[in-house]
Structure 1
């Protein structure tokens, strides 16, 4: 293996639907000495729970408006239900995982986003305590991180999962992020057939959104991947979690999914 560690970002609903073979691949990598770190989201499950509890929720520019009541649900769903579901699935495969949130040990320090008056308790990452993640990996556990952050006064904040994943990858010194989703990559219409683009730059993505070549549900996926490219993270690979041994293929340098790279 060329790379001994990587950060994987995955939505909670995507992870829940992944086949057991995906987690077997994760175990296989761990047995080979590769050290994965998982940062997960859980938007649909949060929305579903808020609906059941009769708590209104809206989005402002793609970020969930987060009141104290919404924040209670966000933490309960992300750090409780989804985080532990992932840990259980990894454990069932024979690998070892330890689930934490960004609040634990002050793992992810945040400050309010610029438009916090409009959007509430949503945070921008200011610091990641990489030593905590390194310590978990040193014990041969896979860290599974829920994107809740905390500020110096002890106030919790909701963090966009892609932003959190990019910050974690950057602080760990990881050059490549793997975004596991339910599509095989960025698709482009070529001669009436949808084909996966092997490599694309951020500028090319923006042009394809403007021209309508990237549309609908793919827009938030690619914008989310772009958010992960920060610091020393130079590329993000979008792959389908349903493809056999997909993580191993990415780490071995096989041409799978779509590589998003910084614009040249």
Structure 2
């Protein structure tokens, strides 16, 4: 069974070795994991070192050509290979790819490209390439850079890319690995993880202040993954023991975000 996992680069870097061992065990048991990763904090850090300002509009990184050079260098280079190395150290077989390799992620400019620059929307995913890599026994690790027919590269939001990859692979559930156990609600003075929420419930909790601060972008990012065939997104804490095995085989942890 194939499943798509989305994780931020900084979250992945902080995960224990046991998480990668769990991925190896899943791969060896016949599951077919596909990873799509981000790397926002590492991109910000590198841009800062180079004296390039980080700017955002509506949650999207304003991307000119110099910024895109750094985005590709950090995502497809440093972060991607770091993940591949950790997987291989755990005994898994992994192969790192950028969305430009084999036209893996085809893209076009986003609607407000005049404001955000070289940011892309996904128009196609080379699912056959992903399936071929999986058939060879490798775990694909995908950096969200897109390309169009003319060869222009695009910076693609990792959540958008992950949702598109999952949808083109026909995966119904996507797992978003974060550093929180799920969406929390205070009940009788105690914080509890909500097992399932809808878009309407999330918006109401943001409006009431129950979902606040850094949790808002995490939840909105997970919602952005619900595209095409993806019916639900599961938010889990990557540091929890055997979290992926339990998510894939049992499913009774974290928070499921479902489309109405």
Aligned pair count? 260
Q: Structure 1: which 5+ residue stretches go unaligned? A: none
Mapping of residues 5-154 of structure 1, within 5 Å: 5-154=2-151
What's the CA shift for 1:203? Answer: 1.2
Quick one: distance in 2 between partners of 1:193 and 1:156?
47
Quick one: distance in 1 between partners of 2:199 and 2:134?
31
Deviation string 1:99-141 (CA, Å, 9 cap, x unpaired) is 0000001110001000101100000000001011001000010
Structure 1 residue 201 and structure 2 residue 198: aligned?
A: yes
For residue 174 of structure 2, the aligned residue among 173, 177, 182 is 177
What's the CA shift for 1:152? Answer: 1.1
Q: What's the counterpart of residue 262 of structure 1?
A: 259
For residue 164 of structure 1, the aligned residue among 138, 161, 165 is 161
Deviation string 1:194-239 (CA, Å, 9 cap, x unpaired) is 1110111111111111111111100000000001111111010000
**Structure 1 runs of 4+ with >4 Å offset:** none
Quick one: distance in 2 between partners of 1:246 and 1:75?
30
Q: What's the counterpart of residue 245 of structure 2?
A: 248
Deviation string 1:150-197 (CA, Å, 9 cap, x unpaired) is 011100000000000000000000000000000000011111211110
What's the CA shift for 1:254? Answer: 3.8
SS of residue paired to 2:68: helix
What TM-score, normalized to structure 2?
Answer: 0.99
SS of residue paired to 1:177: strand
Structure 1 residue 227 and structure 2 residue 233: aligned?
A: no
Quick one: distance in 2 between partners of 1:210 and 1:228?
21
Quick one: distance in 1 between partners of 2:222 and 2:250?
19
Q: Relative to structure 2, which stretch is displaced further, 66-75 or 186-195?
A: 186-195
What's the CA shift for 1:253? Answer: 2.2
Q: Structure 2: which 5+ residue stretches go unaligned? A: none
SS of residue paired to 1:105: helix
Quick one: distance in 2 between partners of 1:174 and 1:77?
28
Deviation string 1:10-38 (CA, Å, 9 cap, x unpaired) is 00000000000001100000110100000
